[in-house]
A and B are shown apart, each in its own frame.
Chain A
């Protein structure tokens, strides 16, 4: 009850600008609410934080709330968003899989391999900007080494610093590549979760065309094309068709 009052009091406030400290406080109180079993209150808190900030942890926690409230599509959406922000995280992976198992549609797709997680984790980095920072640092070091090479009087020092500079440059370039991949991944909004309990996938973007498939809430699709109210989607197993855009939520 107290929590509910809290929300009513805080919600309008939270919709206006919220700074990080306020957001952290909100997340903390949401965590307490979740622990006390007041799942709906916790969900509202997390949701308001996510209006302003993007955070893997908060998405994950919100996903848990929805899972407990039996709102499967929302749970999957939030887990997927959390996974996007922090790929390779064990907890997210576990809960996403648990949620995926509850989905009615069984789509034979390549499974997310457990083994791949550590690579995903490495590739994603601890922080969203890890590779950007690393590339900056390596760039600085490389140029420092080059400068040293120029200054150095003895040939051996010149040679060593040149080789080192070359190596550091290679690392720098690979971290730039990683950073590019990561940024693209984050900016990509092609995956979507079906929210409607049942969706017809049709061969053409109109209601009179042949019905190819029926999907249920929680299934994930990849958006290929958009045309007005309609989107062309593809399933992980290669099947696809057209459906109304209102039935999905982009991850």
Chain B
């Protein structure tokens, strides 16, 4: 199974988590994150991406995480296309021997995904469509991991 997937289809969170450690008795911990479309004034959102670069950027992020922490298996799934409130957008699952590595790597992968993977969200609201602005808090979240990193 590929470590990263960019797809229109939904995913099964339980099956993905189980698959991380199914053939790996050395794994002692799994941390996962699921991102959802927030409801409220947003009626739907469409995710656009840069085919080819997106997969490469996600794979780079996973490679960086694997160099930084002791990880067993990593899986990142990001959906594209039109999604409704409550629908899943992204899954990050990390298996490791001990929980510290899984927790940290899971958060790191999400923080880097938010600032480095070429996805763009467009929201549909009662007032019309609008592109989502990048948030400075996401840049700060990604930056806090940079100590000691080469690039």
Q: Do A and B interact?
A: no
